[in-house]
Structure 1
Amino acid sequence: MTPKTHLPVMTAGVLVVLLAACGGGATDSTSGDGSTDDGADGSAKALQVVTTVAPITSITAAVAGDRAQINGLVPEGTNSHTFDPPPSAAAVLSDADVVFINGLQLEEPTKDLAEANMKDDAVLVEIGTEVLPEEEYIYDFSFPEEDGKPNPHLWTDPTWAIRYAEVIRDTLTEADPDGEATYAENFTAFEAQATELSDALRADQESIPEGGKELLTYHDAYAYFAKTYDWTVIGAIQPENFEDPTPREVAGLIDQIEAEEVPVIFGSEVFPSAVLEEVGNATGARYEDTLRDDDLPGEPGDPEHSWLGLMRYDYVTMINGLGGEATELAALDTAPAVPDDATYPQ
Structure 2
Amino acid sequence: MLNRRSVLLGLAAGIALPLPALAQEKLPVVASFSILGDFVREVGGERVAVTLLVGPDGDAHVYSPSPADAKTVAAAKLIVVNGLKFEGWLTRLVRSSGTKATVATATTGIEPLKMADDHGHGHAHGGEDPHAWQSIANARLYVGNVRDALVAADPAGKATYEANATAYLAKLDTLEGEIKAAVARIPADRRRAITSHDAFAYFAKAYGIAFVAPQGVSTEAEASARDVGRIIRQVKAQKVPAVFLENISNPRLAEQIARESGARIGGRLYSDALSGSDGPAGTYIAMMKHNISVIEKALAAGPA
Give the TM-score of the pair, scaled to structure 2: 0.84
Rounded Cα–Cα distance in structure 1 between residues aligned with 2:280 and 2:125: 39
Q: How does 1:84-163 map to 2 (within 5 A)?
A: 84-120=64-100, 122-128=101-107, 130-133=108-111, 136-141=112-117, 142=119, 148-163=126-141
What is the DSSP-based 3-state SS (H/G/I as helix, E as strand, rest coil) of the residue aligned with 1:81?
helix
Give the Cα–Cα distance (whole angstroms) in 1 for the partners of residues 151 and 143 of structure 2: 12
Residue 279 (structure 1) aligned to one of 245, 257, 260: 257
The aligned counterpart of 1:65 is 45
Shift of 1:215: 2.6
Q: TM-score when scaled to structure 1?
A: 0.74
Judge conservation of contact 2:59–2:273 (CA < 8 Å) in 1: no
Work out which structure has the larger RCO, using CA pairs closer than 8 Å and 6 or more positions apart in sequence: 1
User: How far 1:285 moved relative to its partner?
Assistant: 0.6
Structure 2's unaligned 5+ residue stretches are 1-17
Evaluate the alpha carbon distance shift between residue 118 and residue 163 of structure 1 in structure 2; reply closer, same or farther with a 3 A threshold.
farther
Give the match's secondary structure for 2:80.
strand
Q: Is the 8 A contact 1:269 1:289 kept in 2?
A: no
Name the residue aligned to 1:294.
272
String of CA shifts for 1:214-236, please: whole Å, max 9, x gaps: 23111211111111222222x21
Distance 1:117-1:274 versus aligned 2 partners, 3 A rule: closer
1:305, distance to aligned residue in structure 2 (A): 1.6
Instruction: Name the counterpart of 2:287.
Output: 310
- Hey, what does 1:322 align to over in structure 2? 299
CA RMSD of aligned residues (A): 2.6
CA distances 1:79-123 after superposition (whole Å, capped 9, x unpaired): 211111101111111111110011121112123211332443x21
State the distance in 2 between where 1:184 and 1:98 align: 17
Greater helix share, 1 or 2? 2
Identity of aligned residues (%): 26
Query: Which string of whole-angstrom CA distances, capped at 9 and with x for unpartnered residues, describes residues 124-175 of structure 1?
Result: 01222x1224xx4322135879961411111121111111000010111111
User: Take 1:180 and 1:39, find their aligned partners in 2: how far apart are those partners?
Assistant: 21
Structure 2 counterpart SS, 1:152: coil
Code of the residue aligned with 2:27 in structure 1: it is L
- Verify: 1:206 aligned to 2:184, yes or no: yes
Q: For the residues of structure 1 that align with 2:114 and 2:85, how far apart are their CA atoms?
A: 14
Could you say if the C-alpha distance between residues 147 and 172 of structure 1 is closer, same or farther in structure 2, counting changes exceeding 3 Å? Answer: closer
